[in-house]
């Protein structure tokens, strides 16, 4: 098959949607090498993370004609021009990896779109009104146009049915795996050097994600204040800062635990596995997620996980993780005490996590995607 992809974020984004795009294309090019994969991108970028994938013979890159770039119209090409490309007419499948599709794709090309989450519809107060309107318009149009929709969790599938009134028979759930770097066991010496590089404490609770209200890190700060002093340890918060960081600091000061709170904003991706593997526990108290890839990263890193109930995090963590009400700091504090105090429980959680993540292996996901491409 000849399969096209919206590869804008493959080249330009080195977090969520970009990681997903690279995971999918890497997995397919390796485990379904008989197909040809066309990456449609408005801009090219050289990066070690990209080069290992782009060097494969079954990967082809398609960029806009020079006029689009000259007049600064690459976004117009991405929406309208891709459909007119000679490369597009030869495709059997076009897969929009980030909740949108070009308009007027040829009728001969089967159209698939991945929907990650509809949080902007569920919690519109967390977004600018104009952004919510744009995101909603794009995802609604893509879901109408698509022959098949891929949801990255059952929770997202349920939201597509509920909010967009989409026929559930049109939607398949295909999970996302994490970067292969997290599968590598980091040596004690490397972990020690990373702790020295970032001035990390010997023991810490880790949480990873954009520092915004939805991620609910305040709950973790409140739970820390409830722990006995002899069980307290630093909370390491890794993620892009927003104005909400100030509120976290204010809560920590009010609860007199500010000395236990550490922020890191510019962590090299190659250093993340060592930081995960050095943690005592990973906590993800988010109010709502489309999937929750940091949970999978923590499980791959053989770290016990505590996550919030109420969205899709139970799918990411399975029975290996502990779950708490995202509005109950006492519950989180009690679970932290269990993990810190019970070595047998820790080992059980780690072993169960390593079993659970088999469903997120790239060969499994590549096979599921090829089945969908073939079906449509």
pLDDT digits (tens, 9 = 90+) for 251-307: 999 999 999 999 999 899 999 999 999 999 999 999 999 999 999 999 999 999 999
Q: Where are the alpha helices (DSSP H) in 237-342?
A: 244-254, 272-277, 293-300, 313-317, 329-341
* β-sheet bridge partners, residue 172: 150
* Exposure of 223 in the CB half-sphere (CA atoms within 13 A): 27
d(C-alpha 173, C-alpha 291), whole Å: 11
pTM comes to: 0.94
The CA-based angle 11-13-15, given to 5 degrees, is: 135
The stretches in the chain having pLDDT less than 70 are none
The reported pLDDT for the residue numbered 46 is: 86
Which residues, other chains included, contact 349 with Cβ-Cβ below 8 Å and sequence gap of 6+? 304, 305, 320, 321, 322, 339
Query: What is the phi-psi region of residue 123: left when phi exceeds 0, alpha when psi lies from -120 to 50, beta otherwise?
Result: beta
The reported pLDDT for the residue numbered 268 is: 92
The reported pLDDT for the residue numbered 337 is: 98
Query: SS3 string of 336-352?
Result: HHHHHHCHHHHHHHHHH
Domain ranges across the chain: 2-177+361-375, 180-359
The reported pLDDT for the residue numbered 49 is: 86
Domain spanning 180-359, CATH class: alpha beta
User: Which residue is listed with tokens 């049109």?
Assistant: 170
CA distances from 332 to 139, 273, 319, 335 (A): 35, 25, 17, 5
CA-based nearest residue to 232, from 201, 211, 207:
201
The answer to whether the 2-177+361-375 and 180-359 domains have the same CATH topology is: yes
The CA-based angle 328-329-333, given to 5 degrees, is: 125
Which residues, other chains included, contact 331 with Cβ-Cβ below 8 Å and sequence gap of 6+? 324, 325
Please state which of the four CATH numbers 1.10.3470.10, 3.40.50.300, 3.40.50.2300, 3.40.50.2000 is assigned to the domain occupying 2-177+361-375: 3.40.50.2000
């Amino acid at each position: 098959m000849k399969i096209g992809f919206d590869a804008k974020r493959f080249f330009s984004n080195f977090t969520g949607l970009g990681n997903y795009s690279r995971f999918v294309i890497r997995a397919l090019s390796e485990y379904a090498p008989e197909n040809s994969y066309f990456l449609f991108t408005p801009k090219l970028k050289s990066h070690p993370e990209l080069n290992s994938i782009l060097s494969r013979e079954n990967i082809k890159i398609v960029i806009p004609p020079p006029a689009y770039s000259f007049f600064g119209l690459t976004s117009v090409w991405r929406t309208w021009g891709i459909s007119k490309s000679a490369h597009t007419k030869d495709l059997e499948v076009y897969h929009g990896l980030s909740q949108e599709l070009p308009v007027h794709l040829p009728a001969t090309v089967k159209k698939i779109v991945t929907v990650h989450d509809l949080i902007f519809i569920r919690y519109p107060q967390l977004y600018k009104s104009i952004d919510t309107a744009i995101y909603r318009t794009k995802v609604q149009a893509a879901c109408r146009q698509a022959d098949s929709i891929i949801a990255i969790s059952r929770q997202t599938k349920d939201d597509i049915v509920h909010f967009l009134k989409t026929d559930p028979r049109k939607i398949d759930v295909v999970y996302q795996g994490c970067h292969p770097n997290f599968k590598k066991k980091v040596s004690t010496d490397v972990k020690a050097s990373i702790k020295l590089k970032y001035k990390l404490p010997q023991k810490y609770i880790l949480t990873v994600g954009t520092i915004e209200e939805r991620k609910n890190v305040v709950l973790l700060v409140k739970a820390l204040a409830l722990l006995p002093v002899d069980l307290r340890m630093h909370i390491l918060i890794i993620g892009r800062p927003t104005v909400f960081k100030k509120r976290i600091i204010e809560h920590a000061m009010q609860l007199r635990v500010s000395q236990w709170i550490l922020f890191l904003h510019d962590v090299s991706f190659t250093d993340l596995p060592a930081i995960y593997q050095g943690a005592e526990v990973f906590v993800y108290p988010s109010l709502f997620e489309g999937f929750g890839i940091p949970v999978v990263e923590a499980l791959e890193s053989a770290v016990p996980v505590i996550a919030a109930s109420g969205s899709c995090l139970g799918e990411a963590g399975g029975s290996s993780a502990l779950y708490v009400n995202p509005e109950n700091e006492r519950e989180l504090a009690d679970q932290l005490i269990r993990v810190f105090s019970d070595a047998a429980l820790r080992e059980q959680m780690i072993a169960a996590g390593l079993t659970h993540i088999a469903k997120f292996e790239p060969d499994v996901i590549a096979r599921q995607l090829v089945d969908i491409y073939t079906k449509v």
